[in-house]
Amino acid sequence: MLFYLKYGLLKGISRILCTLSYERILRIGKFLGPAIMNRIDKQKKRGLNQIMMGLKCSKPEAEKLLNEVYENVGMSAMEMLYMPRLCEDKENLSRYITIDHPEYLEAAYDDNKGVVGLTAHVGSWEWLGAGLALYGYDTSAIGKKQKDDALMKIINEYRAKSGEHIFLTGAGGYEMIAAARAMKKNYILGFLSDKDGNKTGIPVRFMNRIFSFPQGPAVFARKFKAPILPIFIVRNKNKPGNTICIGKHFYYEETGDAEKDLLTNSQKMATIIETFIKENPADWLWFQHLFWTEADEIEMYQNLDGQQRQKLGLDFSTNNNGEVGHERE
């Protein structure tokens, strides 16, 4: 019963928003984001700590940036509910989303091996996959099921409406089979790679900490010999709308040392994400849980001796609870 009430409420809000102008829903989101998010103390504390550590800035600077992040999150939430308008016609699409360097995307597709899309929780990420699909690019991603079933149902409906294919985790391994099939069909397979990779993740330097980077991008790039394509979406600074930013593709480099290759290729990907975030700091989800896994809990990190850690730049003088640390909640 509660599910249907939530679903009906969200659907009703979405319908109302879709009757409004794009500029108006952005104004609503820009107001609601800080108004709601500033009341969530744990997230605010985590966001401030991660900004100060990642950017080496003062608390007042972090507070200013976090408020801008909240504004962007509010606008992105409104955009997600505004998705039917995005899908209506080409005029809406070209007005709300543009692609920077589409030739880089097409060059990656030309390999005909599938494309590993390297991305993160930057900007209106739901509009990233939807925008690519609506522009006619075969697009898929591995996604995590949301705890709120009503919200998940609406998100999946709108993803399907745009033509994007999402394979949700927790399907008994089917999501990996479906993702592999998508690669074989020469789809782009997107990975939101700024999520804790747990004990089986790959230790990398990220935002002045040791981070458990998820294995997915490296595993698929190596298995399919596929190009890795940096691809993000950011909010336009001087006009309404978003820009999909595409970098030049590169490949998983193999030297014959499987463990070293996994570490160095993953570090390269983490550095690309970090660099983009630092260029667009207000667009990243700074308050998300990133460092659940302690460095010493990462299996691959445990197997590295001091010299190897130092050589890889993973020999921090303090652990993840200190200078480069996080807090458990």
Task: Give the pLDDT of residue 319.
Answer: 46
- The pLDDT > 90 percentage for the chain reads 81
pLDDT band with cut points at 50, 70 and 90 for residue 84:
very high
Task: Give the pLDDT of residue 320.
Answer: 46
Give the dihedral of Cα atoms 225, 272, 110, 93; nearest 10 deg.
Answer: 140
Asked if the structure places residue 34 within a domain, the reply is no
Asked if the structure places residue 222 within a domain, the reply is yes
Give the separation between CA 265 and CA 231, rounded to whole angstroms: 17
Asked if the structure places residue 31 within a domain, the reply is no
The number of distinct structural domains making up the chain is 1
List the Cα angle 201/142/193 in 5-degree steps: 40
Do residues 240 and 130 lie in contact, with contact meaning Cβ atoms separated by under 8 Å?
no
Which has the higher per-residue pLDDT, 144 or 202?
202
Asked if the structure places residue 51 within a domain, the reply is no
**pLDDT of 328 higher than 80:** no
Cβ within 8 Å of residue 145, ≥6 positions away: 152, 168, 169, 170
Asked if the structure places residue 105 within a domain, the reply is yes
List the Cα angle 291/296/300 in 5-degree steps: 95
Domain that holds residue 174: 97-311
Asked if the structure places residue 4 within a domain, the reply is no
pLDDT band with cut points at 50, 70 and 90 for residue 169:
confident
Do residues 123 and 235 lie in contact, with contact meaning Cβ atoms separated by under 8 Å?
yes
State the chain's mean pLDDT as an integer: 92
**Looking up tokens 């445990």, which residue turns up?**
302
DSSP state for residue 314 in the 8-state scheme: -
pLDDT band with cut points at 50, 70 and 90 for residue 174:
confident
- The C-alpha R_g of the chain, in whole angstroms, comes to 20
DSSP state for residue 295 in the 8-state scheme: G
Q: Is 89 helix (H, G, I), strand (E, B) or coil?
A: coil
Task: Give the pLDDT of residue 316.
Answer: 67
Structure tokens at 4: 């249907």
- What is the crossing angle of helices 41-55 and 59-81, to 10°? 120
Task: Give the pLDDT of residue 325.
Answer: 41
3-state DSSP helix/strand/coil percent for the chain, to nearest 5? 55, 15, 35
Tens digit of each residue's pLDDT (9 = 90 or more) over 95-140: 999 999 999 999 999 999 999 999 999 999 999 999 999 999 999 9
Task: Give the pLDDT of residue 318.
Answer: 43
For residues 146-161, average pLDDT? 90
Q: What is the CATH number of the domain that holds 260?
A: 3.40.1130
Give the dihedral of Cα atoms 223, 229, 232, 233; nearest 10 deg.
Answer: -110
Asked if the structure places residue 212 within a domain, the reply is yes
Torsion angles phi and psi, residue 199, rounded to 5: -65, -25
Asked if the structure places residue 155 within a domain, the reply is yes
CB atoms within 10 A of CB 178: 17
**Looking up tokens 């599910």, which residue turns up?**
3
**pLDDT of 36 higher than 80:** yes
pLDDT band with cut points at 50, 70 and 90 for residue 168:
confident
Task: Give the pLDDT of residue 37.
Answer: 96
Helix H segments across 110-248? 125-134, 149-162, 174-184, 216-224
